Amino acid sequence: MTTNEVIEFARNAFVKLGYKLADFHLNGAPTRVEGPSDLKNIGHIPYCRVVWESLKSDTDTDEIRLKSYQVRFEIDMQRKQIVGMSLIGRDFWRSAPKIDVVPELESDYRKSIQGKMFIRTNAAIIRSVERTTNTPVAMPP
């Protein structure tokens, strides 16, 4: 993969999460691209980190600071897989999904299992017969 393919791969993954590229400026160039690396002792490392960040300045108001964000993708270029992802910022927060489940009360649960908690078996009787007669008892299938 080339770095351009990595950037496009990260954008496609971001869209699959349900976000719009324009809302977080992912339709533009990334703020930072790190990798792949070529080291003398190790060789080529096919790993890339792509980061988009909101621009910060010393004159930002509190409201602007609350709108800041960072989107980071870490991609294994050889396997073509995302190995790490980070979405930081309040704009990524979503409301909790609605769950339509009515919990069962403990008293109702106890009533439903009463008498069914222990199942008697004849395993102890068979073991005592095996011990006294020194012959194994065939168990039904």
Q: pLDDT tens across 72-117, in order?
A: 999 999 899 999 999 888 887 777 777 788 888 888 877 777 655 5
- What is the Cα 84 distance to its own chain's centre? 10
C-alpha distances (whole Å) from 16 to each of 13, 34, 64, 75, 122 are 5, 23, 27, 16, 57
* 3-class secondary-structure state, position 39: strand
Give the pTM: 0.59
Give mean pLDDT, residues 60-68: 72
* 3-class secondary-structure state, position 67: coil
| Extents of the domains making up the chain | 3-92
CA angle at 33 for the pair 53 and 40, rounded to the nearest 5°: 150
Q: Identify any residues that bridge with 88 across adjacent strands, giving them in sequence order.
A: 70
More confident site: 107 or 52: 52
